[in-house]
Amino acid sequence: MTTSPLTVVRGGTVVESSWSGLADLVMRDGKIIAIAEPGGLIPDGATVLDATGKLVMPGGVDPHCHVGFTSGEFTSLDSYAECTTAAVFGGTTTIIDFAIPRPGEDPLDAADKLRTKATEGLCDSALHGCVVEWDDTTADQLATMAAAGIRTVKMFTTYAGESMADEHTILRTMQTTRDLGGMVIIHCESDAIVGDAQNAAASCGHIDAAGMAATRPELAETASVAAVLAIAESQRAPVYFVHQSSAAAVELVADARKRGLVAFTEVVAHHVTLDDSEYQGSEPERFVCCPPLRSRGTVDGLGKHLFTGHITTIGSDHCCYDTVQKRQHRHDVRHMPNGLPGVETRLPVVFSKFVAANGLSPSRFVQLTAANPARTNGLYPRKGSIMPGSDADVAIWDPDLEWTVSDADLHMATDYTPYEGRRLRGKPVTVVVGGHVVVHDGILVDDTPRGRHLPAAPLDFTSMC
């Protein structure tokens, strides 16, 4: 009988979301098959990856990643091959993209278009659906998507005329996804408050990128979070808030959880690492995103909640626009492409600031960046975990490596990074995807596209950390 070869990750500290310790990892046929005592006998023919002095973590799961995303007149620049290559270099081995319908398009058609793209990726991917308007076909479309494993449904309370949904649509979508074992995931900013703030900025000549922060005030976010929580509570429907940007917004969700609602907070890497002083720099347009970067005090207040347990996941909100696109309407943020490139830098910037410099435990880091994103998307424990039976997606980190971020060394399909010149500590050096070593000592050694579309299981909220 012939058996397929083993890969052994030897001598490292395995970091799971609930424990860590010295152990060897044994993989075969794309799966983890054992977590073994360190230093055991290795069979002839096995591939051995030396992880001495390193952290061996589950590959990251990025729950918020826009790939080749069209909004208004702009389309972000990456393909699945490009986005997943950058993801893997950054220690992420699963991305979750959004099927956001163009105006007039059906949610199901938007999802069908993207599902087949997964095979172009270097790693696996999943999809969030999206509902903008409710009509008498929407419930059936959501049922069809759920049967195909698309159970999380993105909604927006802003971007009128593009993807904003009204309260009736949000309520009906919550009812329906709840009954399908899914969940609404929602971008909350009151469009009325944003519109008013933009008009005020325009009337005094501050509608350019330098004025971005004032055009989308924190109150726009908290007002919308409160309104959406009320709808979710009325329906006893689970809800997940994407890219929450202030402690006040996070605490509204934490309070609802105390009242018994199943509710989750996602933050994104740039909101816990960058502040609104970037808008006073020489290229403020490079930092235009929604919600905008906040004041230093707000950034620090948000970051503290990584330690309190009130934050469930950390995503990237990756949007790969380049400088030409960002500059085009820099004198009027109402027409600019929103979003920052970040799939490759998400894990290193968070590790450096919170694990290396501020004592967040590596296990909590794994919980926030891999295990909980997998759980909230029906992918756990296949993804986000190192346990026998999980996919063999593993990132071997050098926790002490100091390096300087430079766009020239990154792999995202753009020409800048918002972190240019930053010194970081900690980096994934070798990354295994489905049992294949794809990045080894910082070099791409296998660019075979083996990506699969991952169907989400019905969501199970009982085991959520």
Residues that bind ligand URP (CB under 6 A): 66, 187, 289-290, 317, 319, 338-339
Query: Between 256 and 319, whose beta carbon lies closer to ligand URP?
Result: 319
CB of 43 to Zn ion, least distance (A): 45
**For residues 426 and 112, what is the distance between their CA atoms, to the nearest angstrom?**
38
E strand intervals along 251-338: 263-268, 313-315
Query: Between 151 and 187, whose beta carbon lies closer to Zn ion?
Result: 187
How many of the chain's residues bind Zn ion (CB under 5 A)? 2
- Judged by CB under 5 A, the chain residues 354 through 413 that form the site for Zn ion are none
Does 266 contact Zn ion by CB under 5 A? no
DSSP state of 17: S
Q: Which of ligand URP, Zn ion, none does residue 289 bind (CB under 5 to 8 Å by kind)? A: ligand URP
DSSP state of 178: H
Does 427 contact Zn ion by CB under 5 A? no
- Judged by CB under 5 A, the chain residues 182 through 201 that form the site for Zn ion are 187
Query: Between 244 and 417, whose beta carbon lies closer to Zn ion?
Result: 244
Q: Which of Zn ion, ligand URP, none does residue 338 bind (CB under 5 to 8 Å by kind)? A: ligand URP
Query: Between 151 and 154, whose beta carbon lies closer to ligand URP?
Result: 154
302 Cβ neighbours under 8 A, 6+ residues apart: 244, 245, 246, 247, 250, 267, 271, 272, 294
CB of 81 to ligand URP, least distance (A): 21
Least Cα distance to 363 among 381, 348, 384, 379 occurs for 384
Query: Between 246 and 385, whose beta carbon lies closer to ligand URP?
Result: 246
Does 97 contact Zn ion by CB under 5 A? no
- HSE-up of 66 (CA within 13 Å, CB side)? 25
Burial of 60 (0-12, 13-18, 19+ CB in 10 A): buried
Query: Between 107 and 435, whose beta carbon lies closer to Zn ion?
Result: 107
Query: Between 69 and 354, whose beta carbon lies closer to Zn ion?
Result: 69
Strand partners, 453: 125
Q: Which of ligand URP, Zn ion, none does residue 93 bind (CB under 5 to 8 Å by kind)? A: none
**For residues 290 and 217, what is the distance between their CA atoms, to the nearest angstrom?**
10
Does 317 contact Zn ion by CB under 5 A? yes
Q: Which of Zn ion, ligand URP, none does residue 172 bind (CB under 5 to 8 Å by kind)? A: none
Burial of 309 (0-12, 13-18, 19+ CB in 10 A): exposed
CB of 319 to ligand URP, least distance (A): 5
Least Cα distance to 321 among 331, 311, 330, 313 occurs for 330
278 Cβ neighbours under 8 A, 6+ residues apart: 284, 286, 287, 293, 418
Query: Between 26 and 110, whose beta carbon lies closer to ligand URP?
Result: 110
Q: Which of Zn ion, ligand URP, none does residue 189 bind (CB under 5 to 8 Å by kind)? A: none
CB of 413 to ligand URP, least distance (A): 16
CA dihedral 10, 15, 19, 23 (to 10 degrees): 0
Does 216 contact Zn ion by CB under 5 A? no
Binding site residues, Zn ion, CB under 5 A: 187, 317
